[in-house]
C-alpha cells in the first residue's frame, strides 16, 4: 500500500471542495476512514462508538447530554492548545508597543481581523483583509522562511501553521504599500485567468 501517511494526505487534499479550513475536522476523518478500509486501524482518532470495555450507561450521564454535549471541536482545540498555544507577536505601525494574539483561538480570517481590531482599538482591519483599494491598513505576516506575506492568500490552517508574527501596516508606509498593491494586482490577474 505504500506510505500510508502520504496516501492519506493525498486523498484528503483531492477530495476537498473548498478551503481546508472550512471543512470540519470530523468530516475529514470520516472521508479518510471510508477510503482507507484496508489500512490498519491504528489511528489515534477513535470513532464515537463506545470502546469495547465500556460499560452500558456508565458514567451516569443522561442520554440527552451524551448525544448533545458541548462543542467537541472546542475541547480538541483546547487539548491541542494546552501547552502549544499559537501566540504570535503583532506590531502596528504607530503603536508604542507590540501585542500578542493566540492564533489557535481564532476561527478564521474575519475572526482574526475582529480580534486585532479589539486589541488595538481600531477599525479597518477587516477591510484590509478583503483587499479594498482604499483600505487604511494592510495586514502582513512573517512566515517560517522569514518572508513577509500578505495575510489572506492561503487557507487558514496553512496560515496558522506558518505565521510567526503579524504586522499591521498603515497607508503612510507608502513604499511597502506600493509593493503590496502590485501584489494585489497580480493576485487579481491570476484570479481572472481561472
Partner 1 sequence: MDPSKSRDSAESTRVIQFPNDVLERILSLIDSHRDRNAVSLVSKAWYNAERWTRRHVFIGNCYAVSPQIVARRFPNIRSVMLKGKPRFSDFNLVPPNWGADVHGWLAVFADQYPQLEELRLKRMTVTDESLKFLARKFHNFRVLSLLSCDGFSTDGLEAIATDCRHLTELDIQENGIDDISGNWLSCFPENFTSLEVLNFASLSSDVNFDALERLVSQCKSLKILKVNKSITLEQLQRLLVRAPQLTELGTGSFLQELTAHQYEELERAFIGCKYLDALSGLWEATTLYLPVLYPACTNLTFLNLSYAALQSEELAKLVAHCPRLQRLWVLDTVEDVGLEAVASSCPLLEELRVFPADPYDQDINRGVTESGFLAVSLGCRKLHYVLYFCRQMTNAAVARIVQNCPGFTHFRLCIMKPGQPDYLTNEPMDEGFGAVVKTCTNLRRLGVSGLLTDLTFEYIGRYAKNLETLSVAFAGGSDLGMKSILVGCPKLRKLEIRDCPFGNEALLSGLEKYESMRSLWMSACKVTLHGCKTLATQRPRLNVEVMKDEEIDDGQSYKVYVYRTVAGPRTDAPSFVQTLCS
Give the residues lining the site for partner 1 (CB under 8 A): 50-51, 53-66, 68-71, 74-75, 78-79, 105, 107-108, 110-111, 114-115, 117-118, 123, 126
Question: How many Å separate Cα 171 from the centre of its chain?
Answer: 27
Burial-class residue 167 by CB neighbours within 10 Å (0-12, 13-18, 19+). buried
- The nearest distance, CB 189 to partner 1, in angstroms, is 29
- The nearest distance, CB 37 to partner 1, in angstroms, is 24
Q: How many residues are recorded in the chain?
A: 194
Contacts by 149-155, CB closer than 8 A, 24 or more apart = 150/180, 150/183, 150/184, 150/187, 151/109, 151/112, 152/109, 153/187, 155/19, 155/20, 155/21
* Closer residue to partner 1 (CB): 111 or 147: 111
Give the residue from 102, 93, 100 showing the smallest Cα distance to 122: 93
Residue with cell 472521508: 31
User: Distance between CA atoms of 165 and 124, rounded to whole angstroms?
Assistant: 19
* Closer residue to partner 1 (CB): 13 or 71: 71
* Closer residue to partner 1 (CB): 47 or 94: 47
* Closer residue to partner 1 (CB): 52 or 191: 52
- The nearest distance, CB 1 to partner 1, in angstroms, is 28
- The nearest distance, CB 85 to partner 1, in angstroms, is 11
* Closer residue to partner 1 (CB): 58 or 97: 58
- The nearest distance, CB 70 to partner 1, in angstroms, is 4
- The nearest distance, CB 62 to partner 1, in angstroms, is 4
Q: Residue 77 corresponds to which cell in the numbers above?
A: 482545540
* Closer residue to partner 1 (CB): 111 or 161: 111
Amino acid at each position: 500500500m505504500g506510505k500510508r501517511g502520504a496516501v492519506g494526505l493525498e486523498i484528503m487534499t483531492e477530495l476537498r471542495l473548498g478551503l481546508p479550513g472550512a471543512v470540519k475536522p470530523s468530516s475529514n476523518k470520516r472521508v479518510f476512514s471510508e477510503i482507507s478500509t484496508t489500512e490498519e486501524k491504528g489511528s489515534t482518532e477513535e470513532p464515537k462508538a463506545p470502546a469495547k470495555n465500556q460499560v452500558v450507561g456508565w458514567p451516569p450521564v443522561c442520554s440527552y447530554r451524551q448525544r448533545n454535549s458541548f462543542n467537541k471541536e472546542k475541547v480538541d482545540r483546547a487539548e491541542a492548545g494546552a501547552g502549544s498555544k499559537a501566540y504570535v507577536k503583532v506590531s502596528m505601525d504607530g503603536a508604542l508597543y507590540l501585542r500578542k494574539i493566540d492564533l489557535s483561538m481564532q476561527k478564521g480570517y474575519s475572526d482574526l481581523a475582529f480580534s486585532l481590531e479589539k486589541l488595538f482599538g481600531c477599525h479597518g482591519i477587516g477591510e484590509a483583509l478583503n483587499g479594498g483599494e482604499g483600505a487604511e491598513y494592510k495586514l502582513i505576516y512573517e512566515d517560517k522562511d522569514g518572508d513577509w506575506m500578505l495575510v489572506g492568500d492561503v487557507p487558514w490552517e496553512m496560515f496558522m501553521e506558518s505565521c510567526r508574527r503579524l504586522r499591521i501596516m498603515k497607508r503612510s508606509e507608502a513604499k511597502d504599500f506600493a509593493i503590496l498593491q502590485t501584489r494585489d494586482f497580480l493576485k487579481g490577474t491570476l484570479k481572472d485567468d481561472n
